[in-house]
Amino acid sequence: MKLIGFAFGIRTVRSFSVEDRLGAIVDEILYCPDSEFNEKIFPEVRENHNTKLLFDPVNQNKFTITPQDFVFEYNTKNDFNNEFDKYLKSYVSVLTKKVFKEYKIKNISRFGFIIKSELEEKDTFLKEISTIIEKHKGTDDSLSLRFNVITKKPLKMKELITEDYDNEIVTYDKPKTTSPLTLSVDYQKYFKPELNIIEDATQDFETFCRNTYSVFKTKYLKKE
């Protein structure tokens, strides 16, 4: 298995105050001292309605900012672990510790972390699926398979029991015979009700991503 990319994302309840200040938020992300999301990394800033997109046309990396979403998507260049560590630290320091505070961004509804990989061959699960397909329909020259697993994670907070839950979305994709077989796992943590401020999370965003990456390595990498 080859790790080829990752994505970090935080979703909030749509806010008109954030919508009015998207330009200032983009400037904060681009020009914050020691930010890894500066104009050298993202030479283009695109806009479409209420969406700002920081874009790298060469490596196809992007940072999407909307009134409710803050999503950084990255394709690994050299070393997955080093790049994951570098960009996660910057995402946390620039976004969660600076932008969220300065612009009073509240009502956080979801954390998200995606890990993307290429498989040299079908794993045990996919081989079983392919056996069934071949039995009934013939060889699966192309493949697109997606499923999710929801785990309830309620928390007791004073007189309230939350309806928090985790959602793991697994996607296998091979558009055509000559395409590499890819596996992406999207780990999502939902907060119901929403967090008033991001500091209310029992597990901060950086810990969520690092712990989730450890789960991924145990579940997928150690099987290789």
pLDDT in tens, the chain (224 residues): 899 999 999 999 988 888 889 999 999 999 988 889 999 999 999 998 889 999 999 999 999 999 999 999 999 999 999 999 999 999 999 999 999 999 999 999 999 999 999 998 877 888 888 788 777 776 667 888 999 999 999 888 777 899 999 999 999 998 888 888 999 999 999 999 999 999 999 999 999 999 999 999 998 876 54
Looking at the chain, list the stretches that DSSP marks H as alpha helix, in order from N- to C-terminal side. Answer: 16-20, 22-31, 80-90, 100-102, 124-136, 205-219
Total number of domains in the chain: 1
Element spanning 114, H or E: strand 108-119
To 5 degrees, how large is the angle CA 169–CA 212–CA 184? 35
Full-model pTM? 0.91
Strands 143-152 and 156-157 come out as unpaired
Contact 99, 65 (CB under 8 A): no
Strand partners, 3: 117
State residue 57 phi and psi, 5-degree precision: -70, -20
**What is the spatial distance between Cα 89 and Cα 199, in angstroms, rounded to a whole number?**
16
State residue 177 phi and psi, 5-degree precision: -55, -40
Reduce the DSSP state of residue 192 to 3 states and report it.
strand
Range of the domain at 126: 2-194+203-223
State residue 34 phi and psi, 5-degree precision: 70, 15
Whole-Å CA distances, 120 to 7, 180, 183, 212: 22, 8, 11, 23
Q: Which of 73, 70, 47, 76 is nearest to 62 (CA)?
A: 73
Tokens of 223: 């099987």
pLDDT at 223: 55
Residue 165 corresponds to which amino acid?
Y
pLDDT at 17: 83
**What is the spatial distance between Cα 61 and Cα 30, in angstroms, rounded to a whole number?**
14
Residue 126 corresponds to which amino acid?
L
